[in-house]
Structure 1
Amino acid sequence: MLRIIRWAWVITLLASVALAQQADAKKTAKDSPERRPAEAKVQTIKPAHGDVIRNFFVTGELRAERAVQVSVPSIRSSFASMVSFLAPEGSPIKPGERLVEFDASALTSQKSEAERRLDEAKLKIKKTKADLDAQETDFLNGVAQAEANLKVAQLYAKTPPELLAANTYQKYQLDLERAQLSLQKAKEQLDNFQKSRPTQMALVEIDEAQAEIDLKKIDGDLGLLTIAAPQEGIVIYGDNWANNRKIQVGDNLFPGMPVVELPDLSSMQVVGFVYDTELSFFSKGMRCSFSLDAVPGSQYGGAIVSLTSVASRKGFASQHKVFRAVIQPDKVDTVLMKPGMTVRVAVGMKLASGTTTIPREFLGVDAQGRYYVLKKTEKTEPAKQTVEVGALGDSLVEVRAGVSSSDSLLPVQRVWED
């Protein structure tokens, strides 16, 4: 029993020693230089003269300055045209390739009807010519018969009067006059017929000419229904205003509506949408930068080349009216830049020039809405100084009163380094 008590006492002693060593190790590690909090490193600055710049951001999209627009043809025999084929949107196309086609079923039936009318007109001309030839033959026969009757009457009229009874002689003389009048009348009828024959032929030929004109119009309209690409480019569909979407196969479109656009990719520009509250900050010739939403990290420079003075609808389906700022890129990337891409445009505005400025993180606002700075002093706590602020830029702030160039300022939000 005594032996067991002795071993228990030894174990307790060893455990106490181990706990004491562990406590000393923790204290040593806690007090080591590596574990002490780093001194707060506070950055100070002095007010300096500089420019206060603020970036204004607007959205926009890429568009081609030069583009060929293909519109719905004006079909004389039809008011609306239905799209039956469209080249795939976004696909490259070469000159002469099939671009757009419209339904030709209505014109095909009209062409068949016009051809039937033309055939009927030609048959009518042939029939009229045959009828006129027959009438002319009748008139010629009438003249020949009148001439023969005149010759017979002349023979009887030459008989001496002493050989005939008085009344018989008078009868032969009257027959001669009657034969002469009959011949004259027959010749007049023939002459009138020959003069009127071209007119009668022209009347029936008008129907043929009109049928030919109608057929040529239909053939011309059929040729307009198939449109080949006039130049190389990328296919961009037009907007269907009635259905509030892009044009697609099966749409009935009216003459003059844009169907497809083939942009010249080397003439890409940015069209920025500027609202009236921001218009005063923009002007022609201003430098700007823009990035493509579809290409993260992209950054391009450019300049505003034009700015509309009248607001218009942002899009055919939008009720918002905006001004349009056209920006010419310094360099056009034909590989990445495609029509319709959304763009974010940044325009740097110089709000103040050559004025006293401080970084924005060195400016604070108290509960009363007053601006202040923290001046470094010999004391531990900095001095809080109310200041008069002018223009507020993205990184710098104009300070009109309350600081001098010799002041050392502390950031309002101190940064502690671990």
Structure 2
Amino acid sequence: MKLTRPLLILLAIVVLAGGYFYFADSSDDSGQSNLLVSVKEGPLLVTIHASGELQAKRSEKIKGPDGLRSVGLYRVTIEDLIPEGTVVKEGDYVASLDKTELDEKIKESQTEIDKIETQLDQIRIDTAIEMRGLRDQLINLKFSLEDKKLSMELSKYEPQAIQKQAQLDMEKSEREYAQLENKLILTREKSIAKVGEIDASYRQQEHKLNRLLGFQKKMTIMAPKDGMVIYIRNWNGKRGPGSQISGWDATVAELPDLSEMMTMAYINEVDISKVMPGQNARITVDAFPGKEFQGLVVTKANIGEQIRNYDTKVFEVIVILQEQDSLLRPAMTTGISITVDSIGTCLQIPLEAIQSDSLSFVFKKTRTGFIKQEVVTGPSTDIDISIALGLSKNDMVSLNAPSHADDLEFVYLDQDEKRQMIQELENALTRRIKAQQVIARSVKQENLQSKDTGGSTFIIF
């Protein structure tokens, strides 16, 4: 035992000294320091990063009155809206809409009704006067006709010419009487038709007024069910007090279902081809540093769009959270890492260690200095890159170019081994892509409510 301890101490000193001369002396002959790293072995996860915003998978829309366009209201201002995040019960007050334009239309409709009532009274008075005049004329003609009949009776003792004249006078009076009777009937029918036309306009305006008065009550918005009020968000920002709703989209706010959450992100057109439904994702929430949630890519847009604050076209991607937390709320900012490729185990080095000059190589440290070692690379992350051929585990490579780098020996790979390895990498990538495509095809689609438009959109989950 007494001899063992000194031997162990001596062995440790030898190892430390060897390690110092092999690893610690990272300076070359010119005195330049080189940043050395060791080739490590382990799993490699290729991820795409994006920021997003939490949303409820489903939500109940809190809408303004239906049929705004039918009463001539195309845009209505939200006059008041309770603070976002307020928990309400069914029937509680949520918002009120500006009634200024509606009140003006009510006044206009009432004025029109008053005008029609005046016209109706006027036509009734005019008709009554005209009908009375015709009746008086009819009475007078009746007396005249009786007088003509009497004259004809008295003329039978007169000469033939006088009798003929008396008969003609009587026939003329009868004709005038019949004509006046017919005129009275036509005048009555005409007045009835005119009154009916005005009365129809009156009923139409009265119906419009009743609809407008009904809308007055609907301009105060109540909660359709229990929940937490969340403001609507669209390309123009939040829809809060002072914003407007339209006759096409009368949504004032929404009551999200907090039991199922999702996050939406925008992926640039360079990376979108790597994203597929069914891929796993890690989600962080800015409000809760250190907490991480598992997610699943459920859909990606087929067409890119130009979004504010993005330099290039981006594609919408939706990720469903596979675990829930009572602290999560809509509109919270999220960080999303989508795993687009994974390798169980491989050799890895930092990405900046790779040098390119028609061939990929690294500055590999040897016992006598550095060499340029050709390598075959595989998938990479933002930090590391996999090495398929050219290095071994625990080899040391330099992150920066040593002095006199141009004079260093270049060690080439065996061309047959290189071609074979490149083919194996391509085959492995094809297998992984096919496996992801199978997963993507296995998911089903469900018709879910769209957040922005109030309509429907298909998303996969």
| Alignment RMSD (CA, Å) | 4.0
SS at the partner of 1:265?
coil
- Residue number in structure 1 paired with 2:319: 327
1:201 is the counterpart of 2:218? no
Deviation at 1:214, TM superposition (A): 3.9
In the alignment, the residues of structure 2 paired with residue 211 and residue 366 of structure 1 have an alpha-carbon distance, to the nearest angstrom, of 82
Mapping for residues 153-164 of structure 1, pairs under 5 Å:
153-159=148-154, 161-162=156-157, 164=158
Among 176, 180, 192, the residue aligned to 2:174: 180
1:347 corresponding residue in structure 2: 338
Correspondent of 2:56 among 64, 84, 97: 64
Say which SS state the counterpart of residue 295 (structure 1) adopts: coil
Number of residue-to-residue matches in the alignment: 360
C-alpha change, 1:105 and 1:118, in structure 2 (3 Å) is: same
Is the Cα–Cα contact under 8 Å of residues 79 and 241 in structure 2 kept in the other structure? yes
Contact 1:302 1:330 in 2 (8 A): yes
Aligned: 1:287 with 2:296: no
For CA contacts below 8 A with separation 6 or more, give which structure has more relative contact order: 1
Amino acid of the structure 1 residue aligned with 2:375? E
Residue deviations 1:24-43, cap 9 Å, x none? xxxxxxxxx9xx9997497x
Distance of aligned partners of 1:382 and 1:265 in 2 relative to their CA distance in 1, 3 Å threshold: farther
Partner of 1:226: 220
Give me the TM-score of the superposition, normalised by structure 2: 0.65
In the alignment, structure 1 segments of 5+ residues that lack a partner are 1-32, 376-380, 414-418
Q: Deviations over 1:57-83 (max 9, x none)?
A: 222221222234456764544444232
Matching of residue 107 in structure 1 with residue 102 in structure 2: yes
Alpha-carbon distance between aligned partners in 1 of 2:245 and 2:355, rounded to the nearest angstrom: 63
Q: Secondary structure at the match of 1:297?
A: coil
Tell me the alpha carbon deviations over residues 103-155 of structure 1, each in whole angstroms, 9 at most, x when there is no partner.
11232233233223313322432342243234333333333333333233323
Kept in 2, the 8 Å contact 1:64–1:265? The answer is: yes
> Quick check: 1:98 aligned with 2:90?
no
| Matching of residues 256-295 of structure 1 within 5 Å | 256=248, 259-295=252-288
CA distance in 1, matches of 2:355, 2:141: 131
2:377 is equivalent to residue 390 of structure 1: yes
TM-aligned CA distance change 1:252 to 1:156, over 3 Å: same
Equivalent position to 1:301, from 290, 294, 314: 294
Aligned residues of 1:374 and 1:409 also touching (Cα < 8 A): no
Which ranges in structure 2 are unaligned for 5 or more consecutive residues?
1-8, 24-37, 399-461
Larger Rg: 1
> Which segment is superposed worse, 364-373 or 100-109?
364-373
Change in CA separation of 1:113 and 1:290 when aligned onto 2, cut-off 3 Å: closer
Cα distance change of structure 1 residues 69 and 37 upon mapping to structure 2, 3 Å threshold: farther
Identity %: 19
What letter is aligned with 1:184? A
Cα distance per residue 1:376-395 (max 9 Å; x no partner): xxxxx699784625234667
**How far has the Cα of 1:282 moved from its partner?**
1.7
What amino acid is aligned across from residue 52 of structure 1 in structure 2?
L
- 1:313 and 1:89 map into 2 onto residues whose CA distance is 28
Check the 8 A contact 1:390/1:398 in 2, yes or no.
Answer: yes
Equivalent residue for 2:362?
371
Instruction: Quote the Cα distance in structure 2 between the aligned partners of 1:302 and 1:253.
Output: 34
